[in-house]
A and B are shown apart, each in its own frame.
Chain A
Amino acid sequence: MASLGFALAYFRARSGTRAAGRPHSRPGYHGTFVFLTTFLPAAFLIAVWSAASPPLVGSLVMNGLPERELSKSPAEISLTMGTIQSLAHGLELIAPEQLAEVRTGKPVLGEILERRGIPLASAPLPFMVSAAVKQYDLTHTSMLLKWILGLGLAAAGLVLGSLRVGPTFRARNSVEGVILAGLAAASTVAILTTVGIVFSMLFETIHFFRHVPMSDFFFGTVWDPRFSAAGQSGASEGQFGLLPLLWGTLYISLVALLVAVPVGLLSAIYMSEYASRYVRTTVKPLLEVLAGIPTIVYGFFALITVGPFLRDTGAALGLNISATSVLTAGLVMGIMLIPFVSSLSDDIINAVPQSLRDGSYGLGATKSETIRRVVLPAALPGIVGAIMLAASRAIGETMIVVLAAGIAANLSWNPLEPLTTITVKIVSQLTGDLEFDSPQTLVAFALGLTLFCFTLALNIYALYMVRKYREQYE
């Protein structure tokens, strides 16, 4: 229909061109204008209707239930509604004459559905069948109305849009206005994502703090969530202390930074100050390959190569290193972060003005003295920012620690023992069968929010540092 509008307006505008000299906009714009007036309002209506209709129908059907059913517990009501939903779905599949038979009130629906190969848990009660028929009718009426109104609106848009097509009509400006609005809307998707992240976690976190007091979560030193046992709420409450997880996260990140910062920073210095063009253009992409390897591959590498290697080396030296340990996870994560640190520091060191170096050489300093006494202090704020970005990355890293850090939540200093992190616990609490009202599941959202706030603070501060540093020398 919208395409029809496009064609109509296009040819009208073209014939108009011949009749009345030069119009303001080219025919294509007139066509697009009518296309938009036909399509957009109707599509919007249909989309809104489709989203709003099922809950509305559901509540209408629920209000029509007998008093006796509505006074039951929410869980039972939702079970009843579920049965009605599936009955109504079954009604879609049966033949019209069978439907008529069901309408007369005869208790035949269960039998008919069974013959169609749709099993029911229990024989449907009469009130359920009538509610299902009601839901079926309402859904169909709503669908019919939706399409009638949608097509009507499209037709109206087509007529009104076509009427405006003419030599003096500025179709291009209108079309461009719509496109601009579309572009602006696209740029808000990023904002919506952030809002979505914060709200999706905030609600569940508030929910969680109703089960577990905030102080127990933030200052508890024991992590022992227990499994949620159905039917016994009080006895299965575990302990949800954040501190062991936070400690594990920070410890592993620290080890990772101890590996990544010296290697990354020194190679960045060599590459930006010493290396010839040839070395630079070969080595830099090679090191950046490390950044392109997916984290799951690093995790597998840690699990299968680094862990056993460290364990065997430790055994030869008389040390007891477990296959999953802080050292394993930290080392592999450090490898992952090397190119991250080195390419960021490389950019930052390159941004230090040449005049500072020349001044230092003029005073007779050697190259390394210049680097240590002049270039690095000048680049320090930027490098700190880069390290903080790397730290935020390490804190949020998941797959390496899931496979290589272990699951024991301890407050231990020993880097040769397994420790666990926030991300590991989010994964273990949210995979498998979920029960969305138990603290065992909800705690994952509280952990996620903590992680998000933590990394966000680091990122904002680091980006601020890097940006301020860049401006200083621009």
Chain B
Amino acid sequence: MTVEAISTGSAGPVANSRSLVEQSLKRRYAAEARFKAYGIGAILIGLAFLVIVFASIIQRGYTSFVQSEFHLDIFLDKEVIDPSGTSDGNDLLIADYPALIQDALVTALKLDPKSRTDVRLAGTLLSANADTAVRNFVLANRDQIGKTVPFWVLASGNVDSVLKGAFDRSIPEERRKLNDKQLGWIDSAYANGLLAKRFNTGLFTFGASSQPESAGIGVALIGSLFMMLTVVLLAVPIGVAAALYLEEFAPKNRITDIIEVNINNLAAVPSIVFGILGLAVFINFMGLPRSASLVGGLVLALMTLPTIIIATRAAIAAVPPSIREAALGVGASKMQSITHHVLPLAVPGILTGTIIGLAKALGETAPLLMIGMVAFVVEYPRTPLDPATALPVQIYMWATAAERGFVERTSGATLILLAFLACMNILAVILRRRFERRW
């Protein structure tokens, strides 16, 4: 229209359309600015969610890395521990250690041992599993029986929450879990070093427990480790082999087309479906034991396989054809050109893909629920066939536990899981930066 107006030489329509455009410009620029602001807003919302997720977990979880413990000099009374004098293992195992610890605490708090209420109240300050450490020490050092030995023993979950400031003292005394007397003891014990917050090694070493203060992720860590080993040993060789075949050797036909579509779809199948597969095939059909980390590893390996195949194919495809042609030109067979030249050059890409796949597998929970990893396992698993749990499954079990003390543990375990994932992803990024080659 404008062009027409110019060519006819009349000034009227030009001025008219220009003013029209100029009038609308303001509106259009405002729309432009609005649209841009929506985009920035969306990004800020996304980043805000990221911050909120991390902040909420860190805020709840960081306290779980310290644990309240009493520093007590415990008299390992021969009369109590080894009355028969034979150092019989069974006697040592069933001896009344809680009484010894309770006595030591009563002495340390300078209470009257004859006042039964005081003794009972003091006893509730100790964890129900405080005796484990003492018993294990006695079993390992039988010559120490009859001597007085300093110990750090676990305080109860309530004491722990007092020291961490999570205990509400404003509630009327009769509805509180600790009365004023006990709070007084705790405060004075904390003031004179009898009670202290120490780094929580138990969180990393203990197995399952019904008491939050003696529950840990030791079993889950070993279970997850076994699973990751299974995934690496199975998924990586099979995935790399499959990718090599599909990318380098496979003829372009119906069957390889189906395999390709199939791999892409498998990568998007809900993880819980893999769990059902594991239950039906590995446990019901092949008769492998439930809750075994081997079965979990097998299921996770099948899940990770598509990720590894896709990453490896991309890495192989990125190696320029000139490398292959040069190898073929000096007389290598096709297999030699690939195993001697293409594959080594693709290794960084394959490693990156593998690590990302492993990180995904490490955080996966749903399929493991299907194959019975939701188990109360106290003993460390020795082989991949022993019952075990996995880190994310342990988080799930604690998240659904009723006791409030488990919230802190759950957040702590979540932080550990996230730390592992962060390390793996950072490793993948470093590998990519370090070895990435632009051809």
Is A445 a contact partner of B276 (Cβ separation < 8 A)? yes
Q: A263-B42, A304-B60, A338-B46 are in contact. Are A201 and B369 (CB under 8 A)?
A: no
Is B271 a contact partner of A396 (Cβ separation < 8 A)? yes
Query: With A and B bound together, what is the CA distance between A453 and B270 in angstroms?
Result: 11
**In-complex Cβ contact of A296 among B49, B245, B363 (8 A):** B363
Is A368 a contact partner of B35 (Cβ separation < 8 A)? yes
Which residues from A are CB-within-8-Å of B227? none
Q: A191-B258, A403-B400 are in contact. Are A456 and B265 (CB under 8 A)?
A: yes
Is A287 a contact partner of B246 (Cβ separation < 8 A)? no
Q: A187-B245, A187-B250 are in contact. Are A398 and B271 (CB under 8 A)?
A: yes
Query: With A and B bound together, what is the CA distance between A445 and B273 in angstroms?
Result: 9
Query: With A and B bound together, what is the CA distance between A269 and B250 in angstroms?
Result: 38
Q: A286-B47, A305-B56, A368-B36 are in contact. Are A201 and B271 (CB under 8 A)?
A: no
**In-complex Cβ contact of B245 among A186, A264, A369, A431 (8 A):** A186
Is B270 a contact partner of A397 (Cβ separation < 8 A)? yes
Query: With A and B bound together, what is the CA distance between A455 and B272 in angstroms?
Result: 12
Name the residue on A nearest B366 (C-beta).
A398
Interface string of A383-402 (1 = CB under 8 A from B): 00000010011011111001
Query: With A and B bound together, what is the CA distance between A364 and B407 in angstroms?
Result: 58
Instruction: Please give the distance in Å from A146's CB to the nearest CB on chain B.
Output: 19
Is B305 a contact partner of A190 (Cβ separation < 8 A)? yes
**A residues adjacent to B (C-beta < 8 A):** 172-173, 176, 179-180, 182-184, 186-191, 193-194, 196-197, 200-201, 204, 262-267, 269-271, 273-274, 283, 286-287, 289-290, 292-301, 303-305, 335, 338-339, 342, 364, 366-369, 371-372, 389, 392-393, 395-399, 402-403, 423, 426-427, 430-431, 436, 444-445, 448, 451-452, 455-456, 459-460, 463
**In-complex Cβ contact of A292 among B239, B246, B421 (8 A):** B421
Whether a CB of chain A sits under 8 angstroms from the CB of B410 is yes
Name the residue on B nearest A397 (C-beta).
B270
**In-complex Cβ contact of A301 among B53, B241, B261 (8 A):** B53
Which residues from A are CB-within-8-Å of B52? 305
Query: With A and B bound together, what is the CA distance between A372 and B335 in angstroms?
Result: 51
Is A191 a contact partner of B259 (Cβ separation < 8 A)? yes
Q: A342-B46, A369-B28 are in contact. Are A200 and B374 (CB under 8 A)?
A: no
Q: A193-B302, A368-B36 are in contact. Are A183 and B50 (CB under 8 A)?
A: no
Is A427 a contact partner of B366 (Cβ separation < 8 A)? yes
Interface residues of B in 265-289 (CB under 8 A from A): 265-266, 268-277, 279-281, 284-285
Q: A187-B259, A201-B276 are in contact. Are A436 and B39 (CB under 8 A)?
A: no
Name the residue on A nearest B280 (C-beta).
A200
**In-complex Cβ contact of A459 among B36, B45, B265, B284 (8 A):** B265
Instruction: Please give the distance in Å from A70's CB to the nearest CB on chain B.
Output: 24
Is B276 a contact partner of A430 (Cβ separation < 8 A)? yes
**In-complex Cβ contact of B50 among A187, A289, A368, A444 (8 A):** A289
Whether a CB of chain A sits under 8 angstroms from the CB of B249 is yes
Instruction: Please give the distance in Å from B148's CB to the nearest CB on chain A.
Output: 39
Whether a CB of chain A sits under 8 angstroms from the CB of B333 is yes
Number of interface residues, chain B, beta carbon within 8 A: 86
Is B32 a contact partner of A368 (Cβ separation < 8 A)? yes
Is B266 a contact partner of A190 (Cβ separation < 8 A)? yes
Sampled A-B contacts (11; CB under 8 Å): A172-B333, A183-B242, A186-B237, A193-B305, A197-B269, A266-B39, A267-B42, A270-B43, A293-B421, A295-B365, A430-B370
Query: With A and B bound together, what is the CA distance between A191 and B46 in angstroms?
Result: 37
Is B272 a contact partner of A427 (Cβ separation < 8 A)? yes
Instruction: Please give the distance in Å from B60's CB to the nearest CB on chain A.
Output: 7
Is A200 a contact partner of B277 (Cβ separation < 8 A)? yes
Which residues from A are CB-within-8-Å of B60? 304
Is B259 a contact partner of A188 (Cβ separation < 8 A)? yes
Is B359 a contact partner of A292 (Cβ separation < 8 A)? yes
Which residues from A are CB-within-8-Å of B302? 193
Which residues from B are CB-within-8-Å of A445? 276, 280
**In-complex Cβ contact of A187 among B246, B276, B281, B421 (8 A):** B246
Interface residues of B in 9-37 (CB under 8 A from A): 21, 28-29, 31-32, 34-36
Instruction: Please give the distance in Å from B331's CB to the nearest CB on chain A.
Output: 12
Whether a CB of chain A sits under 8 angstroms from the CB of B194 is no
6 new A-B contacts, CB < 8 A, other than A190-B262, A366-B31, are A180-B249, A189-B238, A286-B47, A294-B365, A300-B410, A455-B268
Whether a CB of chain A sits under 8 angstroms from the CB of B418 is yes
Query: With A and B bound together, what is the CA distance between A264 and B45 in angstroms?
Result: 10
Which residues from A are CB-within-8-Å of B407? 304
Query: With A and B bound together, what is the CA distance between A371 and B31 in angstroms?
Result: 12
Which residues from B are CB-within-8-Å of A396? 269-273
